[in-house]
Amino acid sequence: MFCEKGPSVYHAGKGKDRVNLLEKRRILVVLAVLSALWLMRVPAPVRAADQPSLGLPLICEPGRTCWLVNHVDHDPGPGMRDYACGAHGYNGHTGVDIAIRDYSKMENGVGVIAAAPGTVLRLRDGVLDGDVSLVGRDAVAGRGCGNSVVVGHGGGWETVYCHLRRGSLTVRPGQRVEKGDKLGLVGSSGLAEFPHIHLGVRLNGKIVDPFVGVKRTADCGPGPAPLWDAQASGKLKGTPTALYDAGFAPVEINPLALRRGFYRETKLPAKAPLLAFWVDAFWVEKDDRLTLTFTGPGDRKLVRKTFILDKTQARHMRFIGKRKTVDWHPGAYRGVAVLERTAKGGRKETFRIERMLEIE
């Protein structure tokens, strides 16, 4: 384009000097345009292309062996507002919590893995696993993250993995890790009431919601450049409400024992004094209808009860049961729990879980 010679140049009337002057002006204009384009290409302090692409931070199957429970709090005040303008979390929560079923699964070992490649910056180990609602917050003062690992990803990005199991950490400061490399095991250390991994994301010390990314264009919903990779994003979509566990017991249910892995019998004797069917749920809402049905051989109904829930709760457990008057009939028994909800706009939502029991 610099040597193009159109009629307007040769008809200007001042010969070679005029041509040179116009060509110089053209070159200056082109250089100015190129310079502006180059400045536009210089990376801004934060660009979507520079952010890490995050996978799941633990080895599990969302909706089957792990469940998304709490989100980052976007409300600057005392309330809670998650990225979708719901209230799935609690005031001041700084990361994403993904829970496993119970303490028995924690003891079996569920791997915590690097969500993106990077370098281990810091870690802490030695904090006891437990339930902070039982031991009190003072017992973990200054160690709310529990046993933890911090991984740096360059450009000011860090991921923080909290509440790992004591003694399970497999990395050291300065170690390079790739996406999916094991960091330790899911635990319940620090400010934790159940076994889970808390994934926090920071950019230059500022909290970033991985469902949103650095910027957002709307008050509600994900941002235009979220941090999750395509696989993780697909697995973490949808409501955090879940009937995540259910089972049978020959005794009345103790919630503490239940959440440590008890009451999951698949076979019981005919002389069991009681048959109880229970269900545990994440994020039930006020006015939800929870129906529990317990049937015996030949689909004979033993117990059926509907509960209208009176408040929104992050976790909710219910059970029904029947005491033995004569020996139970041998055969197959079925427990079914159904949660029904009328969502915004009148849309109906239904959640269901089923378990089987054999009486010998």
Task: Say if residue 136 is exposed, middle or buried (CB neighbours under 10 Å; 0-12, 13-18, 19+).
Answer: exposed
- Both tokens of 335, joined, read 């427990």
3-state secondary structure labels for all residues of 263-296: CCCCEECCCCCEEEEEEEEEEECCCCEEEEEEEE
Q: Return the pLDDT at 42.
A: 34
Q: Find out whether 251 and 289 touch, Cβ atoms under 8 Å.
A: no
CA angle 326, 268, 331 (to 5 degrees): 70
List pLDDT tens digits, range 95-141.
Answer: 999 999 999 999 999 999 999 999 999 999 999 999 998 889 898 99
Mean pLDDT of the chain: 88
Q: Return the pLDDT at 46.
A: 41
Q: Return the pLDDT at 49.
A: 53
Q: Return the pLDDT at 323.
A: 95
d(CA 164, CA 128): 10
Q: How confident is the model at residue 5 (pLDDT cuts 50, 70, 90)?
A: very low
Q: Which CATH number fits domain 242-359: 2.20.25, 1.10.357, 2.40.30, 2.60.40?
A: 2.60.40
pLDDT at residue 355 tops 50: yes
Give me the mean pLDDT over the 61-89 stretch. 96
Q: How confident is the model at residue 26 (pLDDT cuts 50, 70, 90)?
A: low
Share of the chain above pLDDT 90, in %: 80
pLDDT at residue 330 tops 70: yes
More confident call, 135 vs 271: 271
**Domain limits, the chain:** 14-41, 49-235, 242-359
Q: What's this model's pTM, rounded to 2 decimal places?
A: 0.84
CATH number of 49-235: 2.70.70.10
Q: Find out whether 187 and 146 touch, Cβ atoms under 8 Å.
A: yes
The residue behind tokens 């033995």 is: 324
List pLDDT tens digits, range 157-181.
Answer: 999 999 999 999 999 999 999 999 9
Q: Return the pLDDT at 17.
A: 44
